[in-house]
Every structure is written in C-alpha cells, then in structure tokens.
C-alpha cells in the first residue's frame, strides 16, 4: 500500500513516496503538473545555474542516496534533481558499506538519518524494502525501485512523457488512449507503477508478452493481457518496451523466438499508428526487446527514450519538493 500522502514521521514534516498504487488522483495530477512547470522553467532558462521560477528551495538540505542495487540513470537523475534545487547529495551503495557486513536496512536507515539528512532515496532488490525504510525513518523516503514492486518516479516520468506526446498536459486525462506495456511485465516495478498511474488517469492498458512474463494474473490490476503483439500494435498510442529482467529470474527458452514475437523493430513500427510513440525505461537490451533504429526513430512512431530521461529529472525535482514540503521560488 502506498504511503504517498501520509505523514512521513513524527519528528519531521514531509511525506514518503513509496508507490503509485492507490495514490490519490488529485495528488498524482499535482505531481505531474509540478514536473511539467519545472520542465518548462528549466528549458526556458538562459544559461543561469538556477532557473527563474525554481530558485534553490532545498538549499541547506542534505539528501542521501541509499542504493542497495545497481543503478545508473535513476541515481544520477535523483542527484541532478536534488542539486538543481540547491540540496547537497551524499551517496551510499551496498558494496563498500556496512550493509555488506550484515547490517539491517532499518539500522542503515536510522544511522544515516542520525547524521542529519533530510530525505532518503532508497533502491533495493527486495519488494517492500522502501516501505520498510519509510517505517524506520522519520524523514521522507522516496522509493527509487524496490524489487519487482514499484518505481514511482519512473511511473510519473513515463506518464508525463505520454501526456506530452498526446497533448494531455492540461489535466493529465488519459482517457481514450490505449497504452501497451510489452515484454517482461511480471518482474517489472516500472510496469506496476505505470499501470497504477495510467489506469488511475483513465487510459486503457494492455500488457503484452509470453505467458511466463505477462501472465493472466496481471488482469487483477485492471489491464488487458495479450500474448500476441502483432495483433495489438495497430491499436495502441504508446508502446512501452521493457527489459527482460534476467537478474530477477526471468528466463527465455530462446532469445531468437522472443525477439521474433515481441521485439520492437523497424518492421513493427510500420504497423503502428503514425502518432504512436515508443518508450523504454532503460537500460535497453538492444537487439533483444528493441532495436536501435526503433529506439531512435524520429519519423512515424517516434522513439521518446531520451525524453523520458529528461523528464525524469523534472519529475524527481517535483517529487523531492513535495516530499520535503518545499515550495519553488
């Protein structure tokens, strides 16, 4: 259960962002609108380090990255977001920390917190770890991905990217859009956060993959499940292609058969609506779930993968401001 919207702890004001499942739609829209405004202000700046309309609302605050699982883009994105708002950022990773000596997550959280940090960004291989950290911490906890549970800022940045691509930035109403999530849905925390946000905003969501990676049980989340991609492609406005998560026990009997059935490639782009867009949360297994030309396509169905990355910074700035109860200039 998401703790979004609830008070983070007795000692400090602020809130956790653990997941988008069950999030209040007004709050979801507020976070998206804030990210949209931050993006507009940032893109409109003229060389200044801080953009007009943003300022340094987190000056004097310290944010800690607690990454117990590998990450490139999410850690860097949170760091840039925090720094653009004026905060200091410290990094802890599991390798080289007391975690490798057997310290519990709760003890690590309390130890870092006792040093005077104002918020914790937590990534962990176990589903539920972010909620556990949020219970242990008095300061706000932002989930940067916990196992195959949720990745709420990725869900927000994907939603902002969909809304931008399809002209839904006023009000973020996604009704009438059909959004496909293709590939290893079962192991994907990104898929869970996307599904929560997209269904809450009125989109129709279809998950597509082999029965082992897109099982019918996903229907309980309010989505349609299909096992055949080519019949779906022409109907959808977005394809979000997912990485096959081999580190989370996904297995393929044949990579060649998987690619033949589910790879997003130039041939499949031709079957999509011209207005459709292709997304991928990264990192991409080029040549498996997606080809380079599909990822980078600029005419016809467009590849928006770097736009997702850019929007990630704006979304994380909005999330940090909300979690820390801070206002822009």
| Interface positions with ligand NCD (CB under 6 A) | 73-74, 145, 151, 154, 189-190, 243, 245, 281-282
Q: Backbone dihedral region of 215: left (phi > 0), alpha (psi from -120 to 50 degrees) or beta?
A: beta
Give least dist CB 272 to ligand NCD, A: 22
Helix, strand and coil content of the chain, in percent to the nearest 5, comes to 40, 15, 45
The answer to whether 276 and 238 have CB atoms below 8 angstroms apart is: yes
Query: Angle CA(258)–CA(250)–CA(134) in degrees, nearest 5?
Result: 135
Give least dist CB 16 to ligand NCD, A: 18
Is the CB of 41 or the CB of 157 nearer to ligand NCD? 157
Give least dist CB 52 to ligand NCD, A: 30
Element (H, E) at 91: strand 88-93
- The one-character DSSP state at 137 is -
Give least dist CB 30 to ligand NCD, A: 23
Helix residue spans in the chain (DSSP H): 25-43, 73-84, 105-114, 129-136, 152-165, 189-200, 230-233, 255-262, 266-269, 292-295, 305-323
Is the CB of 144 or the CB of 297 nearer to ligand NCD? 144
Peptide bond into 283 cis (omega under 30): yes
The encoded tokens of residue 295 equal: 């990822």
Neighbours of 227 (CB within 10 A): 18
The encoded tokens of residue 125 equal: 């291989």
Is the CB of 72 or the CB of 175 nearer to ligand NCD? 72
Closest CA relative to residue 200, chosen from 265, 155, 141: 155
Is the CB of 154 or the CB of 263 nearer to ligand NCD? 154
| CA-CA-CA-CA torsion sign (244, 248, 20, 14) | negative
Is the CB of 4 or the CB of 190 nearer to ligand NCD? 190
Query: Beta strand 178-182 with 141-146: parallel, antiparallel or unpaired?
Result: unpaired
Give least dist CB 251 to ligand NCD, A: 16
Give least dist CB 191 to ligand NCD, A: 9
Q: In whole angstroms, give the CA distance from residue 205 to residue 159.
A: 12
The residue whose Cβ lies closest to ligand NCD is 243
Is the CB of 178 or the CB of 248 nearer to ligand NCD? 248
Give least dist CB 74 to ligand NCD, A: 4
Give least dist CB 95 to ligand NCD, A: 17
Is the CB of 51 or the CB of 130 nearer to ligand NCD? 130
Is the CB of 2 or the CB of 74 nearer to ligand NCD? 74
Give least dist CB 294 to ligand NCD, A: 17
Q: In whole angstroms, give the CA distance from residue 33 to residue 109.
A: 31
Is the CB of 34 or the CB of 188 nearer to ligand NCD? 188
Q: In whole angstroms, give the CA distance from residue 314 to residue 70.
A: 22
């Amino acid at each position: 259960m998401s703790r979004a919207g609830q008070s983070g702890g007795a000692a400090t004001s602020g809130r956790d962002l653990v997941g988008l499942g069950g999030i209040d739609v007004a709050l979801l829209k507020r976070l998206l609108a804030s990210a949209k405004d931050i993006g507009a202000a940032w893109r409109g700046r003229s060389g200044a380090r801080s953009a007009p309309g943003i300022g340094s609302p987190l000056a004097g605050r310290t944010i800690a990255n607690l990454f117990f699982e590998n990450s490139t883009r999410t850690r860097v994105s949170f760091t840039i977001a925090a720094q653009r708002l004026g905060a200091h950022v410290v990094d802890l990773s599991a390798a080289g920390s007391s975690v490798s000596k057997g310290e519990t997550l709760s003890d690590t959280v309390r130890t870092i917190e006792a040093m005077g940090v104002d918020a914790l960004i937590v990534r962990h291989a176990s589903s539920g770890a972010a909620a556990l950290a949020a219970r242990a911490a008095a300061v706000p906890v932002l989930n940067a991905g916990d196992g195959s549970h949720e990745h709420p800022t990725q869900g927000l940045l994907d939603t902002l990217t969909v809304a931008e691509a399809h002209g839904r930035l006023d009000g973020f109403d996604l009704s009438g859009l059909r959004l496909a999530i293709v590939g290893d849905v079962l192991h994907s925390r990104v898929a869970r956060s996307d599904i929560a946000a997209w269904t809450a905003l009125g989109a129709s969501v279809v998950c597509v993959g082999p029965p082992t990676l897109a099982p019918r049980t996903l229907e309980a989340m309010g989505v349609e499940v299909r096992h055949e991609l080519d019949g779906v492609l022409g109907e959808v406005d977005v394809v979000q292609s997912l990485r096959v998560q081999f580190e989370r026990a996904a297995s393929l009997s044949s990579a060649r058969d998987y690619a033949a059935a589910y790879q997003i490639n130039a041939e499949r782009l031709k079957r999509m609506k011209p207005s459709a867009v292709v997304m991928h949360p990264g990192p991409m297994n080029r040549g498996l779930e997606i080809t380079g030309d599909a990822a980078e396509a600029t005419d016809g169905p467009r590849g928006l993968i770097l736009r997702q990355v850019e929007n990630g910074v704006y979304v994380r700035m909005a999330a940090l401001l909300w979690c820390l109860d801070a206002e822009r200039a």
